[in-house]
Structure 1
Amino acid sequence: MKKLPFQLLGIMLTAICTTSAVAQAQHPSIAKIDNILVQDLQTLTSISHQGRKSGAQSPNISAQYIFAAFEQLGGNPSYQHFTFRAGIFSKDAGHNITATLPCTQPRCDKAIVISAHYDHLGTTGQRHYPGANDNASGVAAMLHMARQLSKTNRARDILFVATDAEERGLHGAKYYAKHLTQEVELNINLDMLGINNNNRLFALFSPGFKEYKTELQNKAKYQIKLTIVSSQRQIERYTNNPRIDWHKASDHYAFYRQGIPYIYFGMGEDKHHHTTRDTLDNMDLNKYQAGVNLINDFILSLTRSPLDSTS
């Protein structure tokens, strides 16, 4: 796909505002949700984004949309191009989008990386796979958090990566983590944040990693149940499905392989996963917003400078 002019991407980011009233009428729960968060969800799941399938030779419309969003908030984004094996004798191209909000203080703690994969299954004939929960939910949350963090004093560098080709083997995250040149304390991975009927958000800590559990527990005063787990056995008790290895189920595993601990936020299983019914209509947007707020407040607590107000 040819690169869209930046002016056109700017129009794409702002024109959706005019559809808010219509969208709220179609989905009543949107009324209590941050408008920009919903606009990102609507855009990434729209037909024009073609299911966000990986493998294009140049950044697709979704990658360009995310790039433009980071650029607008001052994240100095760039594309990270890579290739991955697509068959025995063939390779496909992938395109991560990276951005940075630098530390604003004379003394800085180690950086943290916030990740969310933007790729999904694409379209097959007339079948469109919107990928609302998997993983427009994580990407929209990451952009929301980046906007909040851009307004604060930061006591560490905040690195962002919207990864490509997660669905095909965590390829974007593997490439990014392997080529990190900066020392990183922690990966926070966001994947499938559309809270289910059990009203539960999981925070899976990497094996042996115990930092920040208290800070996270102190944030668990929202409309959803935050469940902090540290092992496959613990999460199996809640999901009742031993077939999924949550330690390896998303991009956080790529960071773990490089010696970087992680906290993975997700809802667990979704009956609409990898179907055409993974739509905004099947997400509870109020619960989603509550989960995003909880994670956002937690990340702010890890990055806030002492010079920030206590409000």
Structure 2
Amino acid sequence: MEGKKFNKRKLLNLVIFLVLGAVLLAAVPRWLTALPGVKESATGKVAPSGELAFFHVRKLAAPEFQGRAPGSRGADYAARYIASQLRRSGCRPAGEAGTFFQSLRIPCFTLLKRGLRWKPVVREEEFLLSDNVLAAIGPAEGGSVPQTVIISAHYDHLGAYGPGYFPGANDNASGVAVLLEAARVLTAEEEALPFPVIFAAWTGEEEGMYGSRHFASRFSPERIKAVINLDSLGTGSPVSFLVWTKDRKNRLLPIVEEAAREVGVAVDVRVLSSSSGYNSDHWAFAEDGIPAVTILSPDWLEKNHTFEDIPERIVPSKLENGVRLVVKMVEKLAERER
């Protein structure tokens, strides 16, 4: 009799444990447990998903990534998350030794508050290792393969400070999110691409574009057709984008403007000189004469480099429009190649 009571008690405890586990699992936000579903396009192509892009923003801005400072454990987690998503989309590795990673040295930095924003101050005497994340689709490079199109975004941010950390949701989890979603969409069109496409997530942008400059110094300019860089584009009006270019003669500008009209968004082109107070990773290529642009939000500077750059400020429909714009630009470049 005592044995039966004991078994019943064990069974009851097990049932209670399973019920509590189910309740706790149901209470966990869906974005922490699984990628959101995506809808099929009526045209047979993969449809961009603002919800899926927003999932990536929330993931990269989460506490476990601790602001993604180069060389930190959080940045390492972020690089591996990005690589896993590119692999999941069907991209092939384009980094060193058959991996998705390209390692480089980046100087350490301290943080200094200037006005409302925090700035990294580089310490040139101290260095650490960090990784660019590189993946590719389309024809393999070599021989008579046409020039490569690069779609890029930096994933690094300012890291942690005191008891808190800088989420970097707009700067630049938003750009990485659009890159990842563009990779998913374009991989489905891979057979129709007449050129290789490299998806590059840079490290070290905040300290001085170290990641993009490292890549550019090892990739011949003659092999690059165009660079579409994405930076801080997830806030503000869903249909308004800013475009930075080194000069008005940039051969990529007509492509940007034509693609924008076709997807129903507005682009405001701004010419930035080398003396500009702001810049982004397109510059590492533009200074070598490569057609390159950075796509941003017109209000990209709002909450930039503050603790308030959080996912709640991001507009999922704007991320989706950003993906549409990038994909349409690649399709326009492909049309001119054929």
User: Shorter-chain TM-score: which interval?
Assistant: 0.7 to 0.9
1:134 pairs with 171, 178, 203, which one? 171
Quick check: 1:81 aligned with 2:103?
Answer: yes
Quick check: 1:264 aligned with 2:294?
Answer: yes
Quick check: 1:41 aligned with 2:77?
Answer: no
Read off the aligned partner of 2:306 and give its amino acid letter: T
Work out the CA distance in 1 between the residues paired with 2:313 and 2:205: 22
Work out the CA distance in 2 between the residues paired with 1:272 and 1:49: 19
- Identical pairs, percent: 25
Q: Deviations over 1:271-298 (max 9, x none)?
A: 2100111111112222332233222222
Work out the CA distance in 1 between the residues paired with 2:35 and 2:230: 27
Contact 1:196 1:270 in 2 (8 A): no
Work out the CA distance in 2 between the residues paired with 1:58 and 1:220: 35
Contact 1:56 1:92 in 2 (8 A): no
Indicate the larger mover: 197-206 or 45-54.
197-206
Contact 2:156 2:204 in 1 (8 A): yes
Work out the CA distance in 2 between the residues paired with 1:290 and 1:71: 23
User: Structure 1 regions of 5+ residues with no counterpart?
Assistant: 1-13, 22-31, 234-242
Read off the aligned partner of 2:135 and give its amino acid letter: A
- Structure 1 residues 132 and 63, CA, compared in 2 at 3 Å: closer, same or farther? same
1:205 pairs with 245, 248, 252, which one? 245
**SS of residue matched to 2:65:** helix
Work out the CA distance in 1 between the residues paired with 2:264 and 2:289: 34
Read off the aligned partner of 2:268 and give its amino acid letter: T
**Structure 1 match to 2:78:** 62
Work out the CA distance in 2 between the residues paired with 1:225 and 1:305: 23
Contact 1:223 1:287 in 2 (8 A): no
**SS of residue matched to 1:167:** helix
Contact 1:129 1:278 in 2 (8 A): yes
Work out the CA distance in 2 between the residues paired with 1:34 and 1:199: 13
What is the CA-CA distance between 1:72 and the residue it aligns to? 1.6
Contact 1:58 1:95 in 2 (8 A): no
Contact 2:243 2:267 in 1 (8 A): yes
TM-score, scaled to structure 2: 0.71
What is the CA-CA distance between 1:260 and the residue it aligns to? 2.2
Work out the CA distance in 2 between the residues paired with 1:244 and 1:19: 39
Contact 1:17 1:39 in 2 (8 A): no
Work out the CA distance in 1 between the residues paired with 2:234 and 2:74: 29
Work out the CA distance in 1 between the residues paired with 2:250 and 2:286: 14
Q: Deviations over 1:76-117 (max 9, x none)?
A: 222100113332432121210111112289975311111100
Quick check: 1:218 aligned with 2:258?
Answer: yes
- How is 1:120-159 mapped onto 2 (pairs within 5 angstroms)? 120-152=157-189, 153-159=192-198
CA RMSD after TM alignment: 3.1
Q: Deviations over 1:32-72 (max 9, x none)?
A: 95332122111111111111111248961000001111112
Q: Deviations over 1:204-235 (max 9, x none)?
A: 23325342433332333456422233x239xx
User: Structure 2 regions of 5+ residues with no counterpart?
Assistant: 1-29, 38-47, 94-99, 109-122
- Structure 1 residues 151 and 17, CA, compared in 2 at 3 Å: closer, same or farther? farther
Read off the aligned partner of 1:265 and give its amino acid letter: I
**Structure 2 match to 1:4:** none
Q: Deviations over 1:235-258 (max 9, x none)?
A: xxxxxxxx9544xx1111111233
Indicate the larger mover: 281-290 or 192-201.
192-201
1:176 pairs with 191, 197, 215, which one? 215
What is the CA-CA distance between 1:139 and the residue it aligns to? 0.4
Read off the aligned partner of 2:272 and give its amino acid letter: Q
**Structure 1 match to 2:24:** none
**Structure 2 match to 1:117:** 154
Work out the CA distance in 2 between the residues paired with 1:244 and 1:195: 22
Quick check: 1:255 aligned with 2:285?
Answer: yes
What is the CA-CA distance between 1:135 and the residue it aligns to? 0.3
Work out the CA distance in 1 between the residues paired with 2:223 and 2:199: 14
**SS of residue matched to 1:97:** strand
